[in-house]
Amino acid sequence: MKQEGTPIAMLTAYDYPMATLVDASGIDAILVGDSLGNVVLGYDSTVPVTMEDMIHHVRAVSRGVKRAMVVADMPFLSYHISREESVRNAGRLMQEGLAQAVKLEGGSEVVDTVKAITAAGIPVMGHLGLTPQSVHQLGGFKVQGKDGEAARRLLEDAKKLEDAGVFAIVLECIPQQLAKVITESVSVPTIGIGAGIHCDGQILVTHDLLGMFSDFTPKFVKRYANLKEQILQACRDYQQEVRSKAFPGPEHVFNMAEEELKKIY
């Protein structure tokens, strides 16, 4: 698709019903992101997300997807302790979660890990720029690569990830000019989130796009629906109809024959 100049559209999903809808929409690839921690599990970062959390949700997504590629995020510390552990954890996301690829964050420091995982036959997606698992080291959710030196390092990291064998690289929250240079400098597709139009594809967190999550809305999010309001209203309507006994109505109940009812007295 990069070679043809066809932009790649990716979204996240974390459970079966959303995965079936995202898949049916024609999205090219679905990321079971560790943003799970923020938008589904109620944490304030992705750091608390575990391998068991990821496997549970990747399995649910995989069951709902018929055509899109499923990529699973490797959570915090699942690829940092040793190469053996990293390969095993990546393998679990494929074998138990039924993902078709894994994603991990970082540049030169993860190159050997990427090589080890790809050597096991597992496709790896890279992730550079704002890498949320390092939010405490980065000092918050901030745009990365704004000065020349930091931008040069990110460009080098992208080339190193490509050499290590990644099949694509997510670029998160970097200036669009830098994203353009990186995109033109690597042969693998770049997938942007807060990185502008020059990337080979885009990804958004589905809960952001649908307006289901409003704890924090980054500048790069475009909201395509306001489901939060619709869900709230539906729940309010239900609550009121239960109170007023408008629900359940005659169309929602089951009846039994009068003579059968008499037998219970």
Site residues (vs ligand KIV, CB under 6 A): 12, 31, 33-35, 73, 127, 170, 172, 193, 203, 205
Minimal distance, residue 239 CB to ligand KIV, in Å: 32
Minimal distance, residue 152 CB to ligand KIV, in Å: 23
Closer Cβ to ligand KIV, 45 or 264, answer by number = 45
Tokens of 15: 């459970």
Minimal distance, residue 232 CB to ligand KIV, in Å: 24
Give CA–CA dist 51/57, Å, rounded.
10
Minimal distance, residue 103 CB to ligand KIV, in Å: 7
Q: Long-range pairs for 181-188 at CB < 8 Å and ≥24 separation?
A: 181/151, 181/155, 182/128, 182/154, 182/155, 182/158, 185/155, 185/158, 185/159, 186/158, 186/159, 186/162, 187/2, 187/162, 188/2, 188/162
DSSP state of 78: T
Closer Cβ to ligand KIV, 73 or 200, answer by number = 73
For 70-92, letters b (16+ CB in 10 Å) and e give bbbbbbbebbeeeeeebbebbbb
Closer Cβ to ligand KIV, 149 or 218, answer by number = 218
Q: Can you give the length of the chain in residues? A: 265
Closer Cβ to ligand KIV, 12 or 86, answer by number = 12
Task: Give the list of residues 6+ apart from residue 211 with CB closer than 8 angstroms, or none.
Answer: 223, 224, 225, 226, 227, 228, 229
Catalytic residue set: 172
Minimal distance, residue 203 CB to ligand KIV, in Å: 5
Minimal distance, residue 218 CB to ligand KIV, in Å: 10
Closer Cβ to ligand KIV, 74 or 122, answer by number = 74
**What's the maximum distance between 2 C-alpha atoms anywhere in the chain?**
85
The residue number with the shortest CB distance to ligand KIV is: 33
Closer Cβ to ligand KIV, 107 or 265, answer by number = 107
Q: What would the DSSP string read from start to end of 190-232?
A: EEEESS-TTSSEEEE-HHHHTT---S---TT---S--HHHHHH
Angle between helices 51-64 and 83-95 (to 10 degrees): 30
